[in-house]
Amino acid sequence: MTLEEKVIAVIIEQLDVTREECSIEASFIDDLGADSLDLVELIMEMEEIFNVQIADNELEKIRTIGNVLDYLKSKGVVWNE
């Protein structure tokens, strides 16, 4: 499983959405039905799985699935499972 696949798997589980809805451009709030609390929980789950700490000011920039991937890559996160 690649990093992208893992991130999308977590999003499917956390937000109860389908794989088809999870395009790279998909916005959590506008496309995936998340509210602000869902986003906080999702980020907590990402922090746990990928062993990173995402600061609140960085949180504001994370709006789409692509944003999450870019952020994780920028922190040097790799995933092969």
Would you tell me which residues interact with another protein (CB under 8 A)?
Answer: 14-16, 37-38, 40-41, 44
Could you tell me the smallest distance in angstroms from the CB atom of residue 40 to another protein? 4
Could you tell me the smallest distance in angstroms from the CB atom of residue 30 to another protein? 17
Q: Which is nearer to another protein, 60 or 80 (CB)?
A: 60
Q: Which of 43, 45, 38, 47 is nearest to 15 (CA)?
A: 38
User: Rounded CA gap, 55 and 34, in Å?
Assistant: 20
In the annotation, is 35 catalytic? yes
Q: Which is nearer to another protein, 37 or 78 (CB)?
A: 37
Other C-beta atoms within 10 Å of 61: how many?
10
Catalytic annotation, pick one of 16, 35, 56, 70: 35
**What is the longest distance spanned by two Cα atoms in the chain?**
30
